[in-house]
Every structure is written in structure tokens, then in C-alpha cells.
């Protein structure tokens, strides 16, 4: 797909894509819906990173939001593909993968919904709520690992200054970038077992637990930290 570099109306293109996506998902044409999303992300993601469009920073902010929205829809497609077999919840690896994808999708759509409203957000959110309820019934509320981390300081990824001295706000958009604070010299101080974690991906599943020689249950292979960010998919695009 050849993209025009001027007078680009990203919202019109995305509105057309979303309409097609909804029809494909209604008809359970998951492969086609997957391809629709990946083509948009690949083409517009590459153009976004190379700054080929002759538009201002606000338009690049808008494009980033729409890319995150479409990636959220792509996550939703992958969830539907993974759960299309009615016995998916009997397979441990699939359960873990679906849970992580559920977390990814929710975070991306929650971010996008701050700027973009529409039928697709409501429908996917309903679907995710239903899936989350299923997890609760099938596996309970769960327990999670949560690390306590000591750092020297945090640097702003926009201006690279100490976060305490810069004017940027974490989570806000600046010229097509999401402000975040990056830790300097992080050290894990402790790991706690909690019911309400910062990152729901760090869940301990029953099959992670194994009794030691003293008959005490210890968690094996459960994640303590993840590197997820809502725009991390752009790192894989040239």
C-alpha cells in the first residue's frame, strides 16, 4: 500500500477499517481480520516511525493513538483465535497466553478510549469483560507476584532529564511519543505475594506451584516483571 505524505486523514481510514473489522469479526473471519490489522500497523507504523507525513505533532499524536487502537483490535482477534476451541481453558499454555493477551488488549483500548469513542470500543470491552468473568469463575481471583524496586532516579524519555525536574507528565503525548519515566540503576529489593498487583500479567497459576522437600508450595516460572508497554509493537517495525 502506497501512502500519501500530505493531507492524510487518519481518522477516515481507521473508521473504514473498523467498519470492515466489525463485519469480519461478526462472521468469524478471524484470519481476514488479523490481516486487516497487521497491514495497517505495518504500513502506518513504518510511516509513523520514519515521520514521512507532512503533518504537525498533534497529527502524529493522533496517528499513534489510532495505531494503538488497531493493535488493541489485533489483540482481540488473537484472543478469539486462541479461544475458538471450546476446550481451550483445559490447556495451561493457552490459558496463560490468553490471559496476557487479555491484559494487553485492555490496556491498549483503555488508552485509546480516552481519545476515540465508538461501537468497536464498546463491543470489544464487553467481550473482554465476559472473558475476564470466565477466568474468575474458572480460576478464581488469582494471586500475583509484585516486586519492590529501588532506583537511583527516573529519567524522562522525552527530555532525558530527571523526572523531578522536567515539565513532562508520564502518560501524556508529546509529538507522537508517550512520556514515560525510565529507571536508572534499578534493584529488586523484595518480591511480594499480592491479590491486587500493578501488573496482572504476573499471575501465579496453580500449575506453577510445586511442593518443596518440606511440603511447602513454591511458585515456579511465574513472571515477576514484564516489559510490556502499549506501544511496544512499534519496536518490531522497521
- Please give the Cα distance from 23 to 6 (Å, whole number): 30
| DSSP letters spanning 3-48 | PPSSS--HHHHHHHHHHHHHHHHHTT-HHHHHHHHHHHHHHHHHHH
pLDDT at site 212 = 62
Q: What is the mean pLDDT of each run of 10 residues along the chain (238 residues)?
A: 54 92 98 98 94 89 96 99 97 98 98 92 97 98 94 97 96 95 95 94 91 61 90 94
pLDDT at site 210 = 77
Look up residue 108 and give its three cell numbers: 491498549
All structural domains of the chain, each given as residue ranges with its CATH number in brackets, are: 10-141 (1.20.58), 143-219 (no CATH)
Look up residue 100 and give its three cell numbers: 496476557
What does pTM read for this prediction? Answer: 0.92
The answer to whether the CB of 184 falls within 8 A of the CB of 151 is yes
pLDDT at site 121 = 95
pLDDT at site 127 = 98
**Whole-Å CA distances, 217 to 59, 92, 209, 210:** 52, 19, 6, 5
Amino acid at each position: 500500500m502506497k501512502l500519501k505524505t500530505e493531507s492524510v486523514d487518519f481518522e477516515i481510514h481507521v473508521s473504514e477499517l473498523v467498519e470492515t473489522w466489525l463485519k469480519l469479526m461478526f462472521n468469524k473471519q478471524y484470519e481476514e481480520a488479523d490481516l486487516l490489522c497487521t497491514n495497517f500497523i505495518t504500513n502506518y507504523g513504518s510511516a509513523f516511525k520514519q515521520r514521512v507525513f507532512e503533518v504537525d505533532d498533534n497529527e502524529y499524536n493522533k496517528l499513534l493513538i489510532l495505531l494503538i487502537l488497531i493493535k488493541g483490535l489485533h489483540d482481540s482477534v488473537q484472543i478469539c483465535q486462541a479461544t475458538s476451541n471450546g476446550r481451550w481453558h483445559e490447556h495451561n499454555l493457552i490459558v496463560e497466553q490468553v490471559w496476557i493477551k487479555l491484559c494487553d488488549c485492555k490496556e491498549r483500548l483503555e488508552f485509546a478510549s480516552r481519545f476515540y469513542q465508538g461501537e468497536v470500543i464498546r463491543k470489544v470491552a464487553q467481550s473482554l469483560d465476559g472473558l475476564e468473568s470466565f477466568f474468575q469463575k474458572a480460576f478464581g481471583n488469582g494471586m500475583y507476584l509484585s516486586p519492590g524496586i529501588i532506583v537511583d532516579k527516573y529519567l524522562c524519555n522525552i527530555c532525558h532529564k530527571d523526572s523531578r525536574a522536567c515539565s513532562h507528565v508520564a502518560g501524556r503525548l508529546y509529538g507522537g511519543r508517550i512520556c514515560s519515566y525510565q529507571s536508572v540503576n534499578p534493584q529488586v529489593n523484595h518480591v511480594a505475594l499480592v491479590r491486587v498487583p500493578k501488573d496482572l500479567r504476573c499471575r501465579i497459576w496453580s500449575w506453577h506451584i510445586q511442593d518443596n522437600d518440606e511440603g511447602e508450595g513454591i511458585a515456579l516460572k511465574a513472571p515477576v516483571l514484564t516489559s510490556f508497554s502499549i506501544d511496544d509493537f512499534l519496536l518490531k517495525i522497521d
